[in-house]
């Protein structure tokens, strides 16, 4: 197991094979951790919203702090117009955060270390934001690709660059999260393998590295969820308030 | 950019070229499309349920809780402000009452003092009058007594002189002659005796 640090990302079927038509939708370890993360979020926030005391208890405080944190993040980046999308961005942030954090527990599976998962999320955001942009501004949304104050000579080039950068948004968004998670977990696995292979004599250095990396990875897990959510807010901001 | 196109290609090829990629991506399990559909399905399902439950049930509750707390705190602050104002008003009232009663007490004290002083003055005056009258009466009496005294002394002197003459010489002397001598003496030495 220690030989290949990539085995931790392997998806395997739990239970029977489920097929709908030509598609295999079997319940896998990835599905299991999606369910666990969602359930954990629901349980925590349900507990945190059950009672309303003037002096909140710990779990209520946690729920309310998360609420105000995300709400402030949205209003800071996308303004007050983004309020209807609060629930979605909150769910997104919490889902990515919990998936990342559950991945930090040994012997678990990191859902967000799979490009397909992050790409589906990013593609959904990209398509949704584009639709919102066209609904809000009609064909005028295309002005997003024409920045103001650019010399006419440069305009064709700028427009092409803008369109490419716009279209690459879902890819950059998904690859950022996926690559961060995968790289971090692979590195931890590699250092863990060094500890085993160097044994009692030389294993202390990679062990201390591993400990430090765990701290770093927890930070990265939070940071990447935050970045994912805040970039969604920024894209939403472009769609809602056409600034260009 | 090449990397991005690479991933895009992977994604769009998934539906057509399953077997090709399954063979090629031995190193990275992420690029094995065997369970991609399953992952997409379960992601949609779990995230969908998470989103629906959060947005319909939990987040409105949290938001309501926060609003309620905010308004409650605001109310409490307002109530506190009101109470502070009323207490300030009461304090003012109290101060007013105190200063008023102080003034009143001062007035009462002054009035009482004046009344007492007046009474004392009146009593003093009447007493003074009484004393003056008594003194006058006594003086009159003394004057009367003084006036009567010389005659009486003269009489006593005449009688004692006649008695003495009788005892010493054995002859009776006419009282009128003695009285003439006494009168004469008293006129000469009256000043010495009575100090007028």
pTM above 0.80, yes or no: no
Count of domains observed in chain B: 1
Q: Flag whether B138 is in a domain.
A: yes
Instruction: Give the closest residue to A82 by CA, choosing from A244, A243, A236.
Output: A236
B41 Cα distance to chain centroid: 82
For residues A64 and A67, what is the distance between their CA atoms, to the nearest angstrom? 5
Name which of A90, A10, A239 is nearest B53 in CA terms.
Answer: A90
Answer whether A158 touches B (CB < 8 Å): no
Answer yes or no: is B24 within a domain. no
The answer, yes or no, to whether residue B138 has pLDDT greater than 60, is: yes
Query: pLDDT at position B125, please?
Result: 95
Q: Which of B47, B59, B63 sits opposite A95 (nearest CB)?
A: B47
Look up residue A16 and give its DSSP letter.
S
Nearest to B29 among A11, A46, A171 (CB): A11
Helices (H), chain B: 2-13, 18-24, 36-53, 59-169, 175-194
Residue B20 binned pLDDT confidence (cut-offs 50, 70, 90): very low
Strand partners for A19: A24
Is residue B60 domain-resident? yes
Candidates A6, A38, A46; nearest CB to B27: A6
pLDDT surpasses 50 at A25? yes
Number of neighbours of residue A7 by Cβ within 10 angstroms: 11
- List the 103-122 stretch of A: residues with Cβ below 8 A of B: 111, 113-117, 119-121
Residues making up chain B, counted from first to last: 196
Residues of B in contact with A88 (CB under 8 A): 51, 55
pLDDT in tens, B85-132: 999 999 999 999 999 999 999 999 999 999 999 999 999 999 999 999
Q: Say if B9 falls within a structural domain.
A: no
Average pLDDT over residues B6-18: 47
Return the C-alpha torsion angle B155, B160, B161, B163, nearest 10. 130
**pLDDT, mean of residues B43-57:** 95
pLDDT for the residue B2: 55
* Alpha carbons B160 and B90: distance in angstroms, whole number: 100
In a domain, B11, yes or no: no
Q: How many C-alpha atoms does A90 have within 13 Å on its Cβ side?
A: 32
Residue B126 phi/psi, 5° resolution?
Answer: -60, -40
Residues from chain B that touch A95, judged by Cβ atoms under 8 A, are 47, 50
Tokens 């197991």 belong to: A1
DSSP A135-202: HHHGGGGGGGGS-TT--TTTHHHHHHHHHHHHHTHHHHHHHHHHHHHHHHHHHHHHHHHHHHHHHHHH
Question: What are the CA-CA distances from residue B16 to residues B9, B10, B11, B45, B134 (Å)?
Answer: 11, 10, 10, 24, 150
Task: Tell me whether residue B25 is in a domain.
Answer: no
Q: What is the Cα–Cα distance from B28 to B40, expressed in whole angstroms?
A: 18
CB A42 within 8 A of CB A63: no
For residue A20, give the H/E element and its range: strand A19-20
The dihedral over CA atoms of A178, A183, A188, A191, expressed in degrees to the nearest 10, equals: 160
Alpha carbon of A141 to those of A73, A75, B110: distances in Å? 24, 21, 92
Which distant-in-sequence residues (6+ apart) come within 8 Å of A192 by Cβ? A2, A206, A210
The answer to whether A6 contacts B28, with C-beta atoms less than 8 Å apart, is yes
Give the angle B89-B90-B93 at the CA atoms, nearest 5°: 90
**What region does A11 belong to: left with phi over 0, alpha with psi -120 to 50, or beta?**
beta
> What average pLDDT does this structure show over B148-177?
80
What is the rounded average pLDDT for all residues in chain B?
A: 83
Answer yes or no: is B153 within a domain.
yes
- Residue B52 inside a domain? The answer is yes
Host domain of residue B138: 32-194
Q: Is A4 left (phi over 0), alpha (psi -120 to 50) or beta?
A: beta
Can you read off the two tokens belonging to residue A230? Answer: 């805040």
B residues 33-72 near A, CB within 8 Å?
33-44, 46-47, 49-51, 53-55, 57-59, 61-66, 68-69, 72
pLDDT category at B16 given cuts 50, 70, 90 is very low
B74 touching A (Cβ < 8 Å): no
The string of pLDDT tens digits covering residues A29-73 is: 999 999 999 999 999 999 998 887 778 889 999 999 999 999 999
* B38/A59 Cα distance (integer angstroms): 33
Question: B183 falls in which pLDDT band (50, 70, 90)?
Answer: confident
What are φ and ψ of residue A188, in 5° steps?
Answer: -65, -40
DSSP 8-state symbol, B26: S
Residues B159, B166: Cα–Cα separation, whole Å: 11
Quote the tokens at residue B26. 């031995």
Chain B CB within 8 Å of residue A6 CB: yes
Residue B69 to residue A113, Cβ atoms within 8 A: no
In the predicted model, is pLDDT for residue B194 greater than 60?
no
- Arithmetic mean of pLDDT, A93-105: 95
Phi and psi, residue A10, nearest 5° = -70, 140
Report whether pLDDT(B32) > 70. yes
pLDDT on residue A8: 85
């Amino acid at each position: 197991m220690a030989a290949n640090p990539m085995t931790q990302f392997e998806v395997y079927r739990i239970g029977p094979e489920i097929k709908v038509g030509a598609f295999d939708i079997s319940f896998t370890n990835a599905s299991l951790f999606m369910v666990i993360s969602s359930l954990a979020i629901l349980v925590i926030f349900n507990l945190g919203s059950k009672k309303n005391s003037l002096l909140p208890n710990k779990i209520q405080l946690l729920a309310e702090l998360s609420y105000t944190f995300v709400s402030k993040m949205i209003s800071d980046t996308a303004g007050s117009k983004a309020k209807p999308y609060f629930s979605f961005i909150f769910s997104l942030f919490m889902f990515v955060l919990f998936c990342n954090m559950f991945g930090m527990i040994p012997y678990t599976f990191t859902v967000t270390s799979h490009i397909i998962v992050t790409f589906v999320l990013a593609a959904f955001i990209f398509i949704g934001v584009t639709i919102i942009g066209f609904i809000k501004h009609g064909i005028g949304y295309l002005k997003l690709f024409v920045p103001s104050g650019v010399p006419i000579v440069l305009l064709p080039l700028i427009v092409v660059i803008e369109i490419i950068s716009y279209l690459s948004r879902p890819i950059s968004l998904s690859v950022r999260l996926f690559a961060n998670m995968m790289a971090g977990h692979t590195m931890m696995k590699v250092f863990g393998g060094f500890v085993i292979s160097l044994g009692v004599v030389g294993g202390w250095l990679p062990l201390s590295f591993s400990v430090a990396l765990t701290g770093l990875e927890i930070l990265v897990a939070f940071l990447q969820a935050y970045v994912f959510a805040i970039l969604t807010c920024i894209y939403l901001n472009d769609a809602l308030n056409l600034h260009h | 950019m090449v990397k991005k196109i690479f991933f895009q290609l992977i994604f769009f090829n998934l539906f057509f070229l399953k077997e090709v990629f399954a063979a090629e991506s031995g190193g990275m399990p992420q690029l094995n499309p065997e369970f991609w559909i399953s992952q997409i399905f379960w992601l949609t399902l779990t995230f969908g349920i998470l989103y629906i439950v959060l947005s319909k049930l939990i987040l409105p509750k949290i938001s309501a809780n926060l609003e309620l707390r905010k308004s409650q705190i605001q109310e409490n602050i307002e109530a506190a402000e009101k109470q502070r104002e009323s207490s300030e008003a009461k304090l003012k009232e109290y101060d007013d009452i105190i200063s008023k009663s102080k003034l009143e007490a001062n007035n009462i004290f002054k009035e009482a003092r004046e009344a007492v002083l007046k009474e004392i003055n009146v009593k003093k005056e009447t007493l003074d009058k009484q004393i003056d009258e008594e003194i006058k009466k006594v003086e009159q009496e003394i004057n009367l007594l003084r006036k009567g005294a010389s005659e009486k002394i003269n009489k006593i002197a005449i009688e004692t002189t006649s008695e003495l003459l009788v005892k010493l010489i054995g002859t009776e002397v006419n009282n009128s002659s003695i009285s003439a001598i006494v009168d004469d003496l008293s006129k000469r030495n009256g000043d010495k005796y009575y100090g007028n």
